Chain A
Amino acid sequence: MHGHGMEGCPGSRMQDFRDNKETKGDESGKRASELRQWPIQLHLVSPMAPYYQKADVLLSADCVAYTVGDFHRDYLKGKSIAIACPKLDEGQEVYAEKIQSLIDDAKINTLTVMTMQVPCCAGLVATAQAGASQAKRKIPLKSIVVSLQGDVLSEEWVS
């Protein structure tokens, strides 16, 4: 047996990318924020808010936006957002209900869930699926998983 199991939670394990990371991409120009709403935290948002009606919604784990370099341009643009942490947030029973309400009441067009590759983050996809299965309407649900270095590891429709 090798040591992985003994190092504690892989989602919290310390990793240092400083040395093996060269800055890629074009640094010129100033980019505008693609955020078009407030609040954004899943506990704080209301599915009745106008920016959710018939929208393409992005449900993002908190850490994702810090990880993906072009989060605004490539993933947030054109979408309304809600953020949550499936590991640390309290009162997550409400989350599935809110997602159900986004689908049934706000009649959102699609739901894209972005999570980190760490195992505990998959809980957010499960919550989204639970909310979607309680909903009367059916909508396409996509899961995007991001590596700790900000690369997209998988992007697929889960229902």
Chain B
Amino acid sequence: MEEFLNKNIKYIIAQYPEVGKILERYNIGCTTCSVGSCLLKDIIEIHNLSPEVEAELLYEIERVVFPGKEVKKRPLRQRAVRPQGEIKYSPPIKKLVDEHVLIKRFIALIEPLCALVDSSKEPDFGLILDCVDFIRNYADKYHHLKEEDVLFKRIGEDLDIIKVMLEDHTTGRNHVKQIIEGARAKDKAWVIEHLKGYKELLTQHIKKEDEILYPWIDRGLSTSDVGKLYVEFSEKDASLPDDFQKRYQDFVKQVEDTLNKRR
């Protein structure tokens, strides 16, 4: 079993689909992950299960993997478990979570935007390019670069979970390139396909960060780390124009209003 804990989740689910179902029952959404390179032991660690739940989960998995073998429940692993419920983030991590809020508001507009593009004889591709500007400058430059240049570097870019996040960022950038190409070619279907692809990707990505990755990172940060991270984030933000935040908040509001009027 120890050897098994050190295998990546993609391999495990391919070999034992039943394990994927067990994980889903425990609200561990790794079965839908596009990368799947995280090790089973890391996945269990990162989800902050109580010792009882963790022992139960391992017991269930072990019975699937070694049928016929008599499996005993493991002794409870003693470690600090943060209480479940509302997640409390440290100030620098909270900053990233707050930025997700505006990105999520934008993502919520993608469906109606696609419907509008689809139903228009001459779609407003200028609006699409404005949306691309939001994605590139706010979601990517402003937000993702804080993750990539500061947070993920500090945590360790060679960790599997971080690799998964970086791959999501790259996939997002590829969708954006395609949206631009599509808009230039005035090809509705092309634009819609990649807007929706971006929406799906970022929805899952933000959920993974807010609910799994960030709480796990926070559990490992010392008080001193929190202070240093806060300073580094503030320095990154200070390099941008003063009205940067407001400009993009206004943009999202404006698109919300435009789409509401059309409904």
B89 proximity list for chain A (CB < 8 A):
157
Interface string of A142-159 (1 = CB under 8 A from B): 100000000000001101
Instruction: State whether A56 and B223 are in contact (beta carbons under 8 Å apart), knowing that A157-B90, A157-B91 are contacts in the complex.
Output: yes
A156 proximity list for chain B (CB < 8 A):
88
- Greatest chain B CB density within 10 A among A139, A156, A159 is at A139
A112 proximity list for chain B (CB < 8 A):
223
Min CB distance B116 to A, Å, is: 41
- Greatest chain B CB density within 10 A among A56, A110, A139, A142 is at A110
Tell me, yes or no, whether B29 is within 8 Å of chain A by CB.
no
Q: Are B230 and A56 within 8 A (Cβ)?
A: no
Q: Are A140 and B88 within 8 A (Cβ)?
A: no
Tell me, yes or no, whether B254 is within 8 Å of chain A by CB.
no
Interface string of B91-110 (1 = CB under 8 A from A): 11010000000000000000
Cβ contact of A78, chosen from B91, B92, B224, cutoff 8 A: B224
Q: Are A109 and B88 within 8 A (Cβ)?
A: no
B193-239, CB < 8 A from A: 223-224, 226-228, 230-231, 234
A72 proximity list for chain B (CB < 8 A):
none
A140 proximity list for chain B (CB < 8 A):
90-92, 223, 226-227, 230
A residues bordering B, Cβ < 8 Å? 56, 78-79, 109-110, 112, 138-140, 142, 156-157, 159
Q: In the complex, A118→B90 CA distance in Å?
A: 25
B residues bordering A, Cβ < 8 Å? 88-92, 94, 223-224, 226-228, 230-231, 234
Q: Are B224 and A56 within 8 A (Cβ)?
A: yes
Cβ contact of A110, chosen from B88, B94, B224, cutoff 8 A: B224
Min CB distance B222 to A, Å, is: 8
Q: In the complex, A42→B80 CA distance in Å?
A: 33
Q: In the complex, A110→B90 CA distance in Å?
A: 12
Jot down 10 A-B pairs with beta carbons below 8 A, ordered by A: A79-B223, A109-B227, A109-B228, A109-B231, A110-B226, A112-B223, A139-B227, A139-B230, A140-B227, A156-B88
Q: Name the residue on B nearest A56 (C-beta).
A: B224
Min CB distance A65 to B, Å, is: 18
Instruction: State whether A110 and B234 are in contact (beta carbons under 8 Å apart), knowing that A140-B92, A157-B88, A157-B91 are contacts in the complex.
Output: no
